[in-house]
Structure 1
Amino acid sequence: MSKFDHNKIMPRYSAFALLMTLLAIAVIGKTLYIMTAKHDYWMEVADRVKRDSVDIKPSRGNILSNDGKLMASSLPEFKVFMDFKALHEANNDSLWDAKADSICMGLNRIFPEMSKQAFRSHLNEGKAKMKRHWPIWPKRIDYNTFSEIRALPVLCLSPNRSGFHYEENNARKRSYGSLASRTIGAMYGAKDAARFGLELSYDSILRGTNGIIHRRKVLNKFLDIMDTPPIDGADIVTTIDVSMQDLAERSLIDELKYINGNVGVAIVMEVATGDIKAIVNMEKCVDGEYREIHNHAVSDLLEPGSVFKTASIMVALDDGVVDTTYRVETAGGVWPMYGREMKDHNWRRGGYGLLTLPQTLMVSSNIGVSRIIDDHYRNNPDKFVRGIYRTGLADNLHIPLVGASPARIRMPKKNKRGQWINWSSTALPWMSIGYETQIPPISTLTFYNAIANGGKMMRPRFVKQVVKNGEVIMDFPPQVMRDRICKEKTLKEIQRILDRVVSEGLGRKAGSTSFRVAGKTGTAQMSKGVQGYKNGVMNYLLSFAGYFPDDNPRYSCIVCIQKSGLPASGGGMSGVVFHNIAEGIMAQSLKLDVKDARDPTSVFVPSVKGGNLLAADYVLSHLGIQTNKSWLGSYADGNPIWGRAEARHKTVVLQHEKVFGKKQVPNVIGMGARDAVFIMESRGVKTIVKGRGHVTQQSIEPGVTIRKGMKCRLELE
Structure 2
Amino acid sequence: MTIKKSIMFRMGVIYLFFLALALWLCIEIINLKFIQADKWKTQSHEVERSENIVMPNRGDILDVNGKKLATSVPSYRLYMDLLAEGLTDAKFNSNIDSLSICLANFFKDKSAAAYKRDLQLARQKGRRYHLVNPKRLSYTEFQVVNKFPIFREGRNKGGFIPEQLDRRQQPFGSLASRTIGKMYGESTKGGMLGLERAYDDKLRGTPGTSVMKRISGRWVPEVVTPPIDGYDVVSTIDISIQDVAEHALRKQLVRHNADHGVAILMEVQTGAIKAMVNLHRLSSGVYVEDYFNYAIGAATEPGSTFKLFSLMAALEDGVVKVTDSIDTGNGAYRFYDRIMRDSQQGGYGMLSVSEVLEKSSNIGIAKIIYENYKDNPRRFVDRLYNMGINKPLGIELLGEDRPLIKYPGDNSWSGTTLPWMSMGYEVKMTPLQLLTYYNAVANKGKAVRPMFVKGLSHHGKMVERYSPVVLNSSIASRHTIEAVHQILIGVVERGTARNIRNSNYSIAGKTGTAQVAKGSQGYQSGGVEYQASFVGYFPAERPRYSCIVVVSAPSNNVYYGNIVAGSVFREIADRVYATGFDFVVESQWKPGREDHVYPYSKGGTFDDIRTIFRELDYPVYAVSSAKEWVSTTAADSGIVIRPKPMPNGVVPSVIGMGARDAVSLLENAGLQVHLQGVGRVVSQSIQAGSKIRPGSTIFIRLE
Confirm whether residue 589 of structure 1 aligns to residue 580 of structure 2.
yes
Confirm whether residue 223 of structure 1 aligns to residue 214 of structure 2.
no
Contact 1:406 1:443 in 2 (8 A): no
Using the size of structure 2 for normalisation, the TM-score is 0.76
Question: Cα gap change, 1:102/1:11 in structure 2, threshold over 3 Å: closer, same or farther?
Answer: closer
Q: Could you report, residue by residue, the CA deviation over 1:61-86 in whole angstroms, capped at 9, with x for unpaired residues? A: 12111122222222222222111222
Q: CA deviation at 1:224?
A: 0.7
Q: CA deviation at 1:124?
A: 4.3
Q: Could you report, residue by residue, the CA deviation over 1:543-562 in whole angstroms, capped at 9, with x for unpaired residues? A: 10000011111100000001
Confirm whether residue 176 of structure 1 aligns to residue 151 of structure 2.
no
2:51 and 2:549 map into 1 onto residues whose CA distance is 53
Question: Cα gap change, 1:590/1:191 in structure 2, threshold over 3 Å: closer, same or farther?
Answer: closer
1:353 and 1:370 map into 2 onto residues whose CA distance is 14
Q: Which of 493, 496, 499 does residue 509 from structure 1 map onto?
A: 499
Gaps of 5+ in 1: 29-45, 414-419, 604-691, 693-717
Equivalences, count: 569
Q: CA deviation at 1:22?
A: 12
Equivalent residue number for residue 12 of structure 1: 12
Q: CA deviation at 1:185?
A: 1.6
Contact 1:285 1:291 in 2 (8 A): yes
Question: Cα gap change, 1:305/1:115 in structure 2, threshold over 3 Å: closer, same or farther?
Answer: farther
Equivalent residue number for residue 569 of structure 2: 578
1:475 and 1:291 map into 2 onto residues whose CA distance is 32
Equivalent residue number for residue 152 of structure 2: 156
User: Could you tell which deviates more after superposition, 105-114 or 301-310?
Assistant: 105-114
Q: CA deviation at 1:411?
A: 2.3
Question: Cα gap change, 1:472/1:90 in structure 2, threshold over 3 Å: closer, same or farther?
Answer: closer
Q: CA deviation at 1:474?
A: 1.6
Q: Could you report, residue by residue, the CA deviation over 1:291-339 in whole angstroms, capped at 9, with x for unpaired residues? A: 1121111111111111111001111111111111232222222211221
Amino acid at match of 1:280: V
In percent, how many aligned pairs have the same letter?
39
Q: Which of 413, 423, 430 does residue 420 from structure 2 map onto?
A: 430
1:408 and 1:574 map into 2 onto residues whose CA distance is 23
Confirm whether residue 474 of structure 1 aligns to residue 464 of structure 2.
yes
Q: CA deviation at 1:591?
A: 7.2
Q: Could you report, residue by residue, the CA deviation over 1:361-386 in whole angstroms, capped at 9, with x for unpaired residues? A: 11111111112111122222222122
Q: CA deviation at 1:111?
A: 1.7
Contact 2:77 2:136 in 1 (8 A): yes
1:122 and 1:20 map into 2 onto residues whose CA distance is 59
Instruction: Give the secondary-structure state (helix, strand or coil) at the position aligned to 2:532.
Output: strand
User: Could you tell which deviates more after superposition, 476-485 or 381-390?
Assistant: 381-390
Equivalent residue number for residue 268 of structure 2: 271
Equivalent residue number for residue 682 of structure 1: none
Equivalent residue number for residue 617 of structure 2: none
1:423 and 1:599 map into 2 onto residues whose CA distance is 61
Amino acid at match of 1:211: G
Confirm whether residue 450 of structure 1 aligns to residue 443 of structure 2.
no
Contact 1:502 1:511 in 2 (8 A): yes
Q: CA deviation at 1:125?
A: 4.6
Contact 1:298 1:399 in 2 (8 A): no
Q: CA deviation at 1:183?
A: 0.8
Equivalent residue number for residue 332 of structure 1: 330
Contact 1:408 1:437 in 2 (8 A): yes
Instruction: Give the secondary-structure state (helix, strand or coil) at the position aligned to 2:174.
Output: coil
1:344 and 1:128 map into 2 onto residues whose CA distance is 85
2:160 and 2:244 map into 1 onto residues whose CA distance is 48
2:421 and 2:111 map into 1 onto residues whose CA distance is 66
Contact 1:212 1:230 in 2 (8 A): yes
Equivalent residue number for residue 463 of structure 1: 453
2:351 and 2:330 map into 1 onto residues whose CA distance is 12
Q: CA deviation at 1:119?
A: 3.5
Contact 1:512 1:583 in 2 (8 A): no
Q: Could you report, residue by residue, the CA deviation over 1:416-443 in whole angstroms, capped at 9, with x for unpaired residues? A: xxxx644111222211111112211000
Q: Could you report, residue by residue, the CA deviation over 1:254-276 in whole angstroms, capped at 9, with x for unpaired residues? A: 11111111111000001111111
Equivalent residue number for residue 702 of structure 1: none
Instruction: Give the secondary-structure state (helix, strand or coil) at the position aligned to 1:132.
Output: coil
Taking the TM superposition and a 5 Å limit, the aligned residue runs for 1:600-619 are: none
Equivalent residue number for residue 567 of structure 1: 558
Q: Which of 284, 296, 299 does residue 298 from structure 1 map onto?
A: 296
Amino acid at match of 2:319: V
Amino acid at match of 1:338: Y
Confirm whether residue 109 of structure 1 aligns to residue 99 of structure 2.
no
Equivalent residue number for residue 35 of structure 2: none
User: Could you tell which deviates more after superposition, 199-208 or 122-131?
Assistant: 122-131
Amino acid at match of 2:174: S
Equivalent residue number for residue 32 of structure 1: none
Equivalent residue number for residue 630 of structure 1: none
1:23 and 1:95 map into 2 onto residues whose CA distance is 51
Q: CA deviation at 1:171?
A: 2.2
Instruction: Give the secondary-structure state (helix, strand or coil) at the position aligned to 2:515.
Output: strand
Q: Could you report, residue by residue, the CA deviation over 1:142-183 in whole angstroms, capped at 9, with x for unpaired residues? A: 111111211111111121121111222322222222211111
Q: CA deviation at 1:541?
A: 1.1
Q: Could you report, residue by residue, the CA deviation over 1:200-225 in whole angstroms, capped at 9, with x for unpaired residues? A: 11111111111110112212333111
Question: Cα gap change, 1:54/1:496 in structure 2, threshold over 3 Å: closer, same or farther?
Answer: same
Equivalent residue number for residue 386 of structure 1: 382
1:564 and 1:597 map into 2 onto residues whose CA distance is 37
Instruction: Give the secondary-structure state (helix, strand or coil) at the position aligned to 2:103.
Output: helix
Equivalent residue number for residue 362 of structure 2: 366
User: Could you tell which deviates more after superposition, 355-364 or 567-576?
Assistant: 355-364
Taking the TM superposition and a 5 Å limit, the aligned residue runs for 1:43-54 are: 52-54=50-52
Contact 2:253 2:554 in 1 (8 A): no
Equivalent residue number for residue 663 of structure 1: none
Amino acid at match of 2:399: G
Bigger radius of gyration: 1
1:406 and 1:23 map into 2 onto residues whose CA distance is 84
Q: Which of 536, 543, 547 does residue 533 from structure 2 map onto?
A: 543
Equivalent residue number for residue 161 of structure 2: 165
Q: CA deviation at 1:6?
A: 14
Amino acid at match of 1:498: L
1:121 and 1:537 map into 2 onto residues whose CA distance is 65
Q: CA deviation at 1:481?
A: 1.4
Instruction: Give the secondary-structure state (helix, strand or coil) at the position aligned to 1:137.
Output: strand
1:128 and 1:576 map into 2 onto residues whose CA distance is 70
1:57 and 1:354 map into 2 onto residues whose CA distance is 71
Confirm whether residue 85 of structure 1 aligns to residue 102 of structure 2.
no
Instruction: Give the secondary-structure state (helix, strand or coil) at the position aligned to 2:266.
Output: strand
Question: Cα gap change, 1:385/1:15 in structure 2, threshold over 3 Å: closer, same or farther?
Answer: farther
Equivalent residue number for residue 213 of structure 1: 210
Instruction: Give the secondary-structure state (helix, strand or coil) at the position aligned to 1:401.
Output: coil
Equivalent residue number for residue 493 of structure 1: 483
Q: Could you report, residue by residue, the CA deviation over 1:509-563 in whole angstroms, capped at 9, with x for unpaired residues? A: 2322211110000011111222112252631111100000111111000000012
Instruction: Give the secondary-structure state (helix, strand or coil) at the position aligned to 2:209.
Output: strand
1:291 and 1:481 map into 2 onto residues whose CA distance is 32
